[in-house]
Amino acid sequence: MAQPVLEISQLKLHFFTDKGRVKAVDGVDLAVHEGEIVGLVGESGCGKSVTSLAVMGLIPQPPGKVVAGTIRFQGKDLTKASPREMRRIRGNEMAMIFQEPMTSLNPLFSIGNQLVEAIRTHRSCSKQEAKNMALEMLKKVGISRSGILDEYPHQLSGGMRQRVMIAMAMVLNPRLLIADEPTTALDVTIQAQILDLMKALNQEFGTAILLITHDLGVVAEMCDRVVVMYAGQVVEETDRRRLFRNPKHPYTQGLLKSIPKLEEQKKRLYSIPGQVPNPLGMPKGCRFAPRCEFAFDVCGRAEPQLLPVEDGHLSRCWLHQEREEGRGHEPDHAIAQSQ
């Protein structure tokens, strides 16, 4: 396969706080290829947003610091890029949209002002040319009224604001769009529209998308490949079909089981027992072990590695690694029961 647009390897980003070192991202590997939509899934606080902000270079340092690993964007290591180089890439070759469309646009500047600014930061063109570009892009995201440029964010609904954000991110035709929970704050019907729009833009421009979400429904609809994160680490990575049909990691299995299903008339919904570990005191061994129903003695002692279970399917779990190393545990049985 060709070189990925974005390739994160062994990224460790820690926050140095008064209470101690928070390992928000601890050895993450992730790749996004040209034209691909990759889902980054996990609970709140698992490090998925921090990973994406690290790619954009938007983690305030201090307290945050990349302590190890690389973030290669089109072959260039962003962890070594100067602030000036990062500014040239941000909003130009790589753009980002955020969870909260209601607060992501500056309330005191018109839509036109904010879009024109995004364009003219990176392209030398006249205001009028930039305005035309902005209008054209706004049409592509489904806002075709001509007065839009003079309107202010408070005059638009959440869905419309997210469209404006997408237009602002896509107007310079970036190679990579990072979307951090882009539909979480929106109504379900609007969610579907925004997702369709992103998919359409992905197909039209071939923009790679890194889609951060906790919503597996969104993943099912959008993504080619999925990366599941837990407590600062990638625990499973595979394509969408395999993730839903044959999840390997107990955490992913738990996530899938937590989706309510109509045909099952259960009184209580399933939830993974226990809580996300405190980032200041990660458990020894596998980080998921304290909550895992399949945990056995190794899990509490040593940390499993992210290794292939089969071709194109990685999992960070002793269940599979034990089997490969032939230590006498029978994981298939357990997994079959869980499904």
Partner 1 sequence: MVKTEMLAYTIRRILMLIPVLIGMSIITFAIVHAIPGDPAKTIAGEKATPEQLQEIRESLGLDKPAYIQYFHYLGDLLRGDLGTSLITKVPISEEIGPFLAATAELTAASMLIAVFFGVNLGILSAWRQNSWWDYSAMLIALIGVSMPVFWLGLMEQWFFAQELGWFPSNGRIDARMEFEGITHFYVIDSLLRGDYAALSDVLMHLILPAAALGTIPMAIIARMTRSSMLEVMRSDYIRTARAKGLSEFWVIYKHTLKNACIPVLTVVGLQLGLLLGGAVLTETIFSWPGVGRYIYDAINSRNYPVIQSGILVLATIFVVINLIVDLLYAWIDPRIQYGKE
Residue 182 lies near partner 1 (rule: CB under 8 A): no
Residue 175 lies near partner 1 (rule: CB under 8 A): no
Residue 193 lies near partner 1 (rule: CB under 8 A): no
The footprint of partner 1 on residues 205-224 (CB under 8 A) is none
DSSP character string of 23-88: EEEEEEEEEE-TT-EEEEE--TTSSHHHHHHHHHT-S-TTTEEEEEEEEEETTEEGGG--HHHHHH
Residue 13 lies near partner 1 (rule: CB under 8 A): no
Residue 90 lies near partner 1 (rule: CB under 8 A): yes
Residue 87 lies near partner 1 (rule: CB under 8 A): yes
Sheet of 6-17, strand order: 20-32, 6-17, 64-73, 76-77
Residue 168 lies near partner 1 (rule: CB under 8 A): yes
CB atoms within 10 A of CB 287: 24
Residue 104 lies near partner 1 (rule: CB under 8 A): yes
Tokens representing 112 are 């036109």
Residue 103 lies near partner 1 (rule: CB under 8 A): yes
CB of 322 to partner 1, least distance (A): 43
Please tell me what DSSP assigns to residue 282.
Answer: P
Residue 38 lies near partner 1 (rule: CB under 8 A): no
Residue 58 lies near partner 1 (rule: CB under 8 A): yes
Cβ atoms 112, 134 nearer than 8 A: yes
Residue 61 lies near partner 1 (rule: CB under 8 A): no
Sheet of 307-310, strand order: 94-97, 176-180, 208-213, 37-41, 225-230, 233-239, 313-315, 307-310
Distance CA 182, CA 196 (A): 12
**Helices 331-338 and 318-325: crossing angle, nearest 10°?**
150
Residues 121-160: x where in contact with partner 1 by CB under 8 A, - otherwise, as a string: xx-----------------------------x-x------
Residue 106 lies near partner 1 (rule: CB under 8 A): yes
CB nearer to partner 1: give 89 or 243. 89
Residue 91 lies near partner 1 (rule: CB under 8 A): yes
User: Which residues of this chain interact with partner 1, rule CB under 8 A?
Assistant: 56, 58, 86-92, 95-96, 98, 100, 103-110, 117-118, 121-122, 152, 154, 165, 168
